[in-house]
Amino acid sequence: MINLKDLMPLIEATNHTPALDPAEVDIKGGYVCDMLSDVMGSAKTGQAWITIMRHLNVIAVASMTGIPTVIFAKGITPDANVIDKATEESIVLLSSPFETFKLAGIVYKALSS
Amino acid sequence: MNEFWHIEPRFEAAVKGYFAQPPQAEVELEFPVPEKDFNTAGNGASETKNLLKRLGVDSDTLRRIAVAAYEAEINVAAHSKGGIMKCLIYDDLIHIRFQDEGPGIADIDQAMIPGYSTADELVREMGFGAGLGLPNIKKNSDALHILSSANNPTTVELLIFF
């Protein structure tokens, strides 16, 4: 487990949901996928979800699945309506400049140490 | 019409008893699911989840209900001309029924195979269409009943016990 606040500098994260405090989120694991049904079928509650999908359904899937944070790879930035919905659902949205492979590797290493 | 049933063995008696004589629900909710509207799809799952959370249903059960309902809403939006999601809530279970306006599922057994999908490009762009919707609904439900055939409406109903 790692606190999201401690993970953020490692992935050079930008927080798009400043109304939410990353220090209140503990990450229990990670899931990497861009197919929403696969995330709902296999991701676990408390995992960070790494994706390049950035439309509104991502927030719905995270909410239904119990995912506390979505990390967008490649510096992808969500639109304002997505950010508003995420804030309403208490899901922290982060962007990292790294590509998915490197990003997942950093998160994996941080969780393993 | 073709029919598909899946009942978790430990709930077999309860499920059959329920459908033999459905009791009066404590709470009834109804949500429209318009065709190809992937923003409205999910409202039913979200509102139902929030209500059940206030009623004290545990988080794992909430997650199963939310995922099954959301997948079914996406199916109605993606594959039908639109439909209705209806929730019947009792002390110990939820019964959710999705009724659409067709055009129906030609081969339900094939639709249940993980990875099989007839989703169009729009649905895939939205991140759906992996062929996992019905398998996810089955996985998260204690009972699943599907009634459909080509050129007919589809009924998908599921029970989840608290």
Smallest Cα–Cα separation from A70: which of A78, B53, B67, A35? A78
Please count the structural domains in chain A: 1
With cut-offs at 50, 70 and 90, classify the pLDDT of residue B126. Answer: confident
A55 lies in which domain range?
Answer: 2-112
CATH number at residue A98: 3.40.1390.20
Residue B27 pLDDT > 90: yes
- pLDDT digits over A58-89, tens only? 999 999 999 999 999 999 999 999 999 999 99
pTM value surpassing 0.80: yes
**Chain A residues near residue B113 by CB distance under 8 angstroms:** none
Smallest Cα–Cα separation from B77: which of B65, B69, B89? B69
N- to C-terminal Cα separation, chain B: 31
Average pLDDT over residues B5-18: 97
Distance of CA A81 to the CA centre of its chain: 17
| Most B-contacting residue of A35, A56, A64 (CB-CB within 10 A), to test interface | A64
Strand ranges of the sheet holding B27-33, from the earlier edge strand across to the other edge: B2-7, B143-148, B155-161, B93-100, B83-89, B27-33
Closest Cβ–Cβ partner in A37, A45, A63 for B136: A37
- pLDDT digits over B71-115, tens only? 999 999 999 999 999 999 999 999 999 999 999 999 999 999 999
Q: In CATH, what is the architecture of B2-21+35-161?
A: 2-Layer Sandwich (3.30)
For tokens 């959301």, what's the residue? B70
Letter string b/e over residues B121-160, b meaning 16 or more CB atoms within 10 A of that residue's CB: eebeebbbbbbbbbbbbbbbbbbbbbbbbeebbbbbbbbb
Give the CA angle between residues A102, A90, A83 to the nearest 5°: 70
ipTM for this prediction = 0.86
Q: What are the boundaries of each domain within chain B?
A: 2-21+35-161
Q: Which residue of A has its CA nearest to B133?
A: A37
B24 touching A (Cβ < 8 Å): no
pLDDT given for residue A113 in this prediction: 85
